Amino acid sequence: MTAEANAGVPRLEVRGVTKRFPGVLANDHVNFAVDPGEVHALLGENGAGKSTLVKMIYGVLHPDEGRLLWNGEAMDITDPHAARALGIGMVFQHFSLFEAMTVLENIALGMDEPGDMASLSRRVVEVSQAYGLPLDPDRNVYTLSVGERQRIEIVRCLLQNPKLLIMDEPTSVLTPQEVERLFETLRKLSAEGVSILYISHKLDEIKALCDRATILRGGRVVGECDPSVETAKSMAQMMIGEELKSVTRRSAGTHGEARLAVEGLTMPSEEIHGIDLKNVSFSVKAGEVFGIAGVAGNGQNELLLGLSGERLAHHDTIVRIDGEPVGRRDAGARRRLGICVVPEERNGHGAVPGMSLVENGVLSGHHRMDLLSNVFIRFGAAARFASEIVEAFDVRTPGIAASAGSLSGGNLQKFIVGREILQKPKVLIVSQPTWGVDAGAAATIHQALADLAAEGVAVVVVSQDLDELLAISDRLAVINVGVLSSAMVTKEASVEEIGLLMGGVHGLEPAPERAPEEAANVA
């Protein structure tokens, strides 16, 4: 800690901050402080008020009550420009970059006073090298990995000499090796006196990195802890206010024939900077959870479109459900045969924001839940289906007539996952199942996936969260630049091996398929 911290003057102090929205008390007299040089975690389940709170610190929103103190002095942070002038920087979970522009151009656009481009280019190189975040100012963003794109956001903040750096879910799209490099950078910044306010659902990371944690529940501060002396489970229980249930796997019996088989799926991307799928092959048996790991933007979305039937393969036999060729059948036909799908993008793909939960239940559920009579919606049946989803997955909503867009990201994710699971599929394909959800909701979703597998469903989980895949999958493979690695038994795989595959060591041609192996069921 610096001398300033020893003098007892926090870098940032939040006193009695309250924020209301129509029908919602997002923050209720919140108090906490961040010292100079401290890495301070902000923890809480979905809807706890974390995002609202940091938006007020960064000037995007304004408190209805309470004060923000900066180095002991009350400040009115009117907008992000005022926040940056004080020395507050923020790296958002979703990057704000223009892919067709260079690294340098993107950095300049995000700065209040970038100066001349030649000088800025030199500063970018100096700062990026000094903090172990190497960047080439002249490269186009679309050529960069996700980890390199995150460096742009961080370096842009560092160029403005921040005294407080807010990071929102910064490791959600990184390989294990990239996470460790990021932590080295954050530790160096902390040693130089920069305060870091760190938001993450990955509690093992909080334990490894953070000096202190403030826990929010229902918009209120309910506790503070030292993560180094806590466990991930104990911190999760503080967040949700009850004991966190462990996921249990029940035996589905001997795995039979493959319920889903994919052989030689090659598919060009429809996006300008998308990733082409190259000869993807794998199979998933009844009762098996098959994980697909990978850094975002390596062909996951293209693979999901090819499996769901939103895009058709060039031959019918490339995709099979219970042995039946479906490669040339559309999404509706595949759903009727037993495929259900949770896409990565919640708003617009998984759900229509302006439609009610009842209507969103009908969108994909009508194929298997008898929710239509000719072309008319059976609203009674649809309402019962939506209510069942809300109850089974603890979706926090004013009611089933509420629009999907009115739900928090985590609650909408629970609704979409529940909608697909309750259709009792033969094959479930789910991308990023616990993206943005808290520990309690993640455990509920993981248990639901395990229960499906126990009933003989073939489950495919596409995730950037390696810990998630290691915890719930029987076998897994890694996708990189549209190529799927050979499958490995999860309990025999090493984090280092998977991380290297995620980083691209297996090149452009897939390794030969290993001999199939049965994973032992967990009792």
**Per residue in 45-104, pLDDT tens?**
877 889 899 999 999 999 999 999 999 999 999 999 999 999 999 987 767 889 889 999
pLDDT tens-digit profile of 239-296? 888 776 777 766 544 566 799 999 999 999 887 767 899 999 999 999 999 999 987 7
pLDDT for res 249: 67
pLDDT at 501: 87
Distance, CA of 276 to CA of 274 (rounded, Å): 7
What is the residue-averaged pLDDT of the chain?
87
pLDDT for 122: 94
Write the secondary structure of 278-293 as one string of H (helix), E (strand) and C (coil).
EEEEEEEECCCEEEEE
- For the chain, the first-to-last Cα distance in angstroms comes to 48
Alpha-carbon distance of 442 to 435, in angstroms, equals 9
> Which tens digits make up the pLDDT trace of 125-136?
999 888 888 889
Quickly state the pLDDT bin for 209 (edges 50, 70, 90).
Answer: very high
pLDDT value of residue 119: 94
Q: What is the residue-wise DSSP string for 50-70?
A: HHHHHHHHTTSS--SEEEEEE
Helix, strand, or coil here: 35?
Answer: coil
Q: Average pLDDT in the 416-429 region? A: 95
What letter would DSSP give residue 404?
G
pLDDT at 64 (0 to 100): 96
Rounded average pLDDT over 136-145: 87
246 vs 233: CA distance, rounded Å: 10
Helical (H) or strand (E) element with 381? helix 379-392
Q: Hey, what's the torsion of the CAs at 59, 60, 63, 67, to 10 degrees?
A: -10
Top-confidence residue, 466 or 105: 105
CATH class of 3-240: alpha beta
Asked whether the domain spanning 256-338+426-513 has the same topology as the one spanning 3-240, the reply is yes
- DSSP one-letter code for 510: P
Query: Model confidence at 178, in pLDDT bands (50, 70, 90)?
Result: confident
Return the pLDDT at 407.
86
Question: What CATH number is given for 256-338+426-513 in this structure?
Answer: 3.40.50.300
Which pLDDT value is given to residue 347? 80
Per-residue model confidence (pLDDT) at position 271: 79
Enumerate the β-bridge partners of residue 224: 214
Q: pLDDT tens, 346-388?
A: 888 899 999 999 999 999 999 899 999 988 999 999 999 999 9
Q: What are phi and psi of 484, to 5 degrees?
A: -100, 130
Q: Whose CA is closest to 194, among 213, 167, 225, 224? A: 167
Residue 23 is predicted with a pLDDT of 79
Joined together, the tokens standing for residue 412 give 């909408």
Percent of the chain with pLDDT over 90: 60
Q: Which of the four pLDDT bands, split at 50, 70 and 90, describes residue 182? A: confident
The DSSP output letter for 219 is T
Question: What's the pLDDT score for residue 494?
Answer: 85
Q: Looking at the predicted structure, is the pLDDT value of residue 507 above 60? A: no
SS3 39: strand
Q: 225: helix, coil or strand?
A: strand
Taking alpha carbons only, the member of 476, 481, 477 closest to residue 504 is 481
pLDDT score, position 497: 85
Q: To which residue do tokens 């790296």 refer?
A: 91
**What confidence score (pLDDT) does residue 240 get?**
81
* Mean local confidence (pLDDT), 321-336: 95
Q: Where are the domains of the chain?
A: 3-240, 256-338+426-513, 351-424
